Amino acid sequence: MLTILALVLMSLTPPKTIGVMGAMEVELELLSRDMVVERDDTIAGTVYEMGSLYGVSCVVVQGGVGKVGAAQTAQTLITEYDVDAIIFTGVAGGINPQLNIGDIVISKNLVHHDLGQILPDRFIPFDTLGFFADSLLVDLALQAAEIVVLESIPEEIRGEEDIPKIILGRIATGDQFISSEAKRLWIEETFHADCVEMEGAAVAQVCTVNEIPFVIIRSLSDLANEEADVDFQSFVIYASKNSSLLVKEIFRLLAR
């Protein structure tokens, strides 16, 4: 019987090019250190670095914060670089109360939490199911999750667990940095999301209409409550590193 990894490799081998996206420099810094860069292009003010990571051809790009930049960057990866798949790595705010700073969410599906109709007394979302990540890439990410060595949880926020959890879950996206417990609770109750961020569903939508496989990897830098601003500043580097470590493990599996 074929293993999950074999099925993934069959679907992507030989991987012509994998697009790797992040919103901020800090989210891509660890990957860039290990990447062999052959050349770079600048398109509409955005730098696309072409090369390889552990022998796997890739294009790495910082698309900026928010859905418009993310969508534009994803479409450029598809149109100009003919990528076979897109992996997004970065940080997020926690929505699921069972998750803590440092925990990682691998996207099962993604929704726009700010897309809908505003009525005088309520907001009606247009879509609560969203866009589903590629099952083979998800399986590969889950296999990488079993072997990746993550950074320990910082002592000041460490509870009973020393190492962050990695789950498969739903990601909510909107052009808003959430630092409100009331809003966090609304996103949890309305979308049953595990985390919230500002780019993933836009990337997912572009990939879906172009029939390009994708997966979004997010590590929690904060808990989307009134302490989110402070926590983000304190833990964005730590969370970015753990997300990158998982993506690096995915590339090592592809390289094998």
Rounded CA separation 248/194 (Å):
23
Q: Is 222 an annotated catalytic residue?
A: yes
Q: Is 25 an annotated catalytic residue?
A: no
Q: Taking the CA of residue 247 as centre, how many other CA atoms within 13 Å lie in the half-sphere pointing to its CB?
A: 36
Rounded CA separation 50/123 (Å):
42
The active-site residue out of 27, 134, 199, 231 is: 27
Q: For CA atoms 182, 185, 190, 191, give the dihedral sign.
A: positive
Rounded CA separation 60/243 (Å):
15
Q: Which residues of 64-99 are buried (b: 16+ CB within 10 A; e: fewer)?
A: bbbbebbbbbbbbbbeebebbbbbbbbbbbbbbeeb
The active-site residue out of 103, 222, 231, 249 is: 222
DSSP 8-state class, residue 151: P
Which element (helix H / strand E) includes 184? helix 181-191
State in Å, rounded, how far the first CA of the chain is from the last one: 19
Rounded CA separation 28/58 (Å):
13
DSSP 8-state class, residue 45: T
Most distant CA atoms of the chain, gap in Å:
57
Tokens representing 195 are 């985390």
DSSP 8-state class, residue 153: P
Q: How many CB atoms lie within 10 A of CB 168?
A: 16
Catalytic residues: 27, 222
